[in-house]
Amino acid sequence: GEDESLERGRQLYLEGTQPQCGVCHTLEEAGTSGGIGPNLDNLQPTEEAVRAAVRDGVGVMPAFSDSLSPEEIEAIASYVVSVTQD
């Protein structure tokens, strides 16, 4: 269900990438406070923006399309959007 997918997204956000998302990003719900990339709570990105950024990278942010499946990228995007929208 939806909750499972969000939980999967949360787990991938926390542990599914190298470096981990939270090393660079602040996301209150996940308890991360990285200060390198944008603060996701402030940014409130769209799903499209997260999906594209994780897949292709942005500036110094690496592309994760080789290490994550499209479904995993989608799960991260859904999770980040769900916990950052007002």
Partner 1 sequence: METARIHRRHFLIGSASTAGAIAAAGVTGSSFPAFAAETKELPDYVSWKDADKLIMHTEQTLEMKRGAGGTSVITPNEEVYIRNNLPSPDESIVADRDAWEVSIEGVNDPRTLTVGELKNIGIETVATVLQCSGNGRGFYEHETSGSQWLTGAAGCILWSGVPVRKVVEELGGLADGGNFMTSTGGEQLPEGVEEKDIIVERSVPAEAMENAILAWEMNGDEMPLAHGGPLRMIVPGYYGINNVKYVKRVAFTEEETDAKIQASGYRVRPVGVDGAPDQPSMWEMQVKSWVTHPLKDSESGRVQIYGVAFGGDKPVEKVEVSLDGGESWQDASFIGPDLGRFAWRPFLLTADLEPGDYVITSRATDSDGNVQPESTEPNHRGYDYNGWDRLAVEVTVV
User: Which residues here bind partner 1, judged by CB under 8 A?
Assistant: 19-20, 23-24, 34-39, 42-43, 48-49, 51-53, 55-60, 62-63, 65-66
Q: Which is nearer to partner 1, 7 or 65 (CB)?
A: 65
- Rounded to a whole number of angstroms, the minimum distance from the CB of residue 43 to partner 1 is 6
As a dihedral over the C-alpha atoms of residue 16, residue 71, residue 35, residue 32, rounded to 10 degrees, the angle is -60
- Rounded to a whole number of angstroms, the minimum distance from the CB of residue 61 to partner 1 is 8
Contacting residues for 85 by C-beta, under 8 A, at least 6 apart: 44
